[in-house]
Structure 1
Amino acid sequence: MSSIKVECVIKEKNEVGESPVWEEKDSSLLYVDITGQKVSRWSSLTKQIESIGTEKLVGCVVPRQAGGYVIAEGTRFAFVDWEKRSITAVAEVNEKPNTRFNDGKVDPAGRFFAGTMCMDMKPDVVDAALYNLQPDHSVVRHFDQVHLSNGLDWSLDHRVFYYIDSLAFMVEAFDYDIQTGGLSNRRTVYKMEKDEGIPDGMCIDTEGKLWVACFNGGRVLRIDPQTGKRLQTVKLPAERITSCCFGGKDYSDLYITSAYIGMDAEALAKQPEAGCTFKVTGLGVKGIPPYSYTG
């Protein structure tokens, strides 16, 4: 077993770092700061960060096949032209007041899935929903009654969609129809244990196991969705862990984002790396390259 090493690689702190995506072509990590309202790219080669400000709270960013990126911000999907530093609205969703887009990811067929969340995060408020932006720019609403839409990914054979509604404290699965993007047969694959925190962002490895970031849990869990068992826990030097993705050479490094929002001076003094982005090496597993939006 190789020894696992955790290091803070992006020291510039994000109030709510989220949605990390590895970009192989220039060995960089793409991510957002939700409340800081910006999309950033960090080069692993030069260690430089470039950012673009967004108009609204930005939940996530994904690569676009035609170039540039797509973001889900506020209650809309928008294209980002990185060269021109411009953001163009694509589609608006009809959301209830006080909701906004949160996490999202592109499916293996090139559709951009993203869900919304209720801003006040009361356990009894389920006004949010899961959507996807089709390649023709139309929007599909999959289901509602969501508290806080979060991590999502697809099984290696593309037949299962994994999903987290954070305040339900579990990872769920649906049968997935790659032809239509349709979801059915909803079920629970993992229930969070008491000390594990709130399930947040998520990614999958080449063995089909899920990696789940634990907000207020200071860790990332590796879960077997077949058996519902936790296989591994990686502890981080920050409590508010938000999301993760594989990247680096052969996708063998795990990049993990974090947040410092809502922490007081005492908590920040104890966790000087809160809000930083970490790289975990030596896990002995690899991830898969991200999909790009085809519209």
Structure 2
Amino acid sequence: MAPKTIIQQESLLQYQCELGEGSLWDAVRQRLYFVDILGCKIFTYEPSTGKHGYQSFDRNVTALALLEDNTGLLAALQDGLAFISFDQLPFPPTNSPSTYKRLNVDITHLEGFNRFNEACVDPSGKRWIVGTMMHEQGFPGSAGGGLYSISKSGDGLTAELLLDQLTVSNGMGWTKYNKTMYFTDSLRKEIGKYDYDIDTGAVSNKVIFSNVDDEELGVPDGMCQDDQYGIWSARWGSGKVIRFTPQGEIDLIVHLPQALNVTSCIFGGPNLDELYVTSAREGTTAEQIKRHPSNGDLFVVKGLGFRGKERTRFQGSFLA
């Protein structure tokens, strides 16, 4: 049976991000956070009031995570990790320059490292799985991307290398009983599945979940999951988000004709049934922008018939 297709023409917020990414729903505050990596911004959107805005930072912010103590956000930066308190993300936002607390983490980058990219807290809440991406010249001979398990240790963080020889680390998720981790390696156009030990955080025994090589379906980027443990994969270069069943079948395609580079997605809203989708203008020509004028905007898709899973929050406090 052919997958169902849902078309969303209009964008929600017209920010035209250079590299919109990192969508994250805060169910406590009922707010959406996302980033413009190249624009060095964190955006905040409050659906209940329609208020939105952004704070600027002095370097790329690539990924976000919520904390269990509800004091702020963990952030992956281009060259490190940080804690950003909610006091530094006033809402509505101000024009004051934003500050953050750099976190002490002992990490040795692989040869060919470019910057941090995607990150996701594992189901235990004890580990923040953070990926890096290779320098453009590093592939395929020496792919410099890595995947690290970050955990709290005293006043700092420890980093354990889980995977190496990666291209661009991207979307992650876990199966129902936390025994398997999904991980996206974008330039290889694959989503892998790994045995995951929830007690130790170890990964092993990779198998391919999806390696769709179809220009119409684009390159896999960020992902989220619904409460049936389906995978929603944002697809760079195609204007689409694809839903995979847990068995790996494509059963639904969300098409955003006005965008091209779709980068991340997350369920939000009071009932976690609204799909928020980021996009990016990076890597597009003037002709492509003409054909996809909302590239770089934020979209919301309603009426999908699915509810999302709230992201796990990281255990630990960084206020002191």
TM band (smaller chain): over 0.9
Deviations 1:127-175 (A, max 9, x none): 1100122033211211111111111111122111000000111111011
Letter in 2 for 1:171: I
CA offset at residue 121 of structure 1?
A: 6.2
Residues 1:175 and 2:195 aligned together: yes
Uncovered stretches (5+) of structure 2, i.e. residues with no partner:
89-97
Give SS of 1:156's match: coil
SS of the aligned residue for 2:136 comes to coil
Letter in 1 for 2:85: D
- Greater strand percent: which structure? 1
TM-score of the superposed pair, with normalisation by structure 2: 0.86
1:9 alignment counterpart? 12
Secondary structure of 1:249's partner?
A: coil
Identical counterparts, % of pairs? 31
Aligned to 1:65: 68
Bigger mean CA offset, 67-76 vs 84-93: 84-93
Does 2:231 correspond to 1:231? no
How far the C-alpha of 1:245 sits from its partner, in A, is: 0.8
Equivalents in 1 of 2:211, 2:180: separation in Å?
A: 18
Matching of residues 23-62 of structure 1 within 5 Å: 23-62=26-65
Runs of 4+ in 1 over 3 A off after TM superposition: 2-5
After superposition, give the CA deviation of every residue in 1:219-266 in whole Å (9 maximum; x if it has no partner): 01111232x221111111211000111111221111111001132332
Match of 1:113 among 111, 129, 148: 129
Deviating more after overlay: 40-49 vs 67-76: 40-49
> Structure 2: how far apart are the matches of 1:75 and 1:18?
17
Q: Any gaps of 5 or more consecutive residues in structure 1?
A: none
Pair 123,168 (structure 1): closer, same or farther in 2 beyond 3 Å: same
8 Å CA contact retained: 1:213, 1:219: yes
User: 38-47 vs 90-99, which deviates more?
Assistant: 90-99
* Residue-pair matches, total: 293
- Distance (Å, rounded) in 2 between the aligned partners of 1:121 and 1:248: 41
Question: C-alpha separation between the residues in 1 aligned to 2:25 and 2:7?
Answer: 19
1:103 corresponds to 2:123 = no
SS in 1 for 2:130: strand
User: Secondary structure in 2 aligned to 1:163?
Assistant: strand
The 5 A counterparts of 1:130-141 are 130-136=147-153, 137-141=157-161
- 1:243, 1:3 → 2: CA distance? 18
Q: Closer, same or farther in 2 for the Cα pair 1:122/1:138, shift >3 Å?
A: closer
Q: Determine helix, strand or coil for the equivalent of 1:45.
A: coil
Give the distance between the partners of 1:48 and 1:292, measured in 2 at CA.
24
Between the aligned partners of 1:253 and 1:87, the Cα distance in structure 2 is: 30
Match of 1:79 among 80, 83, 100: 83
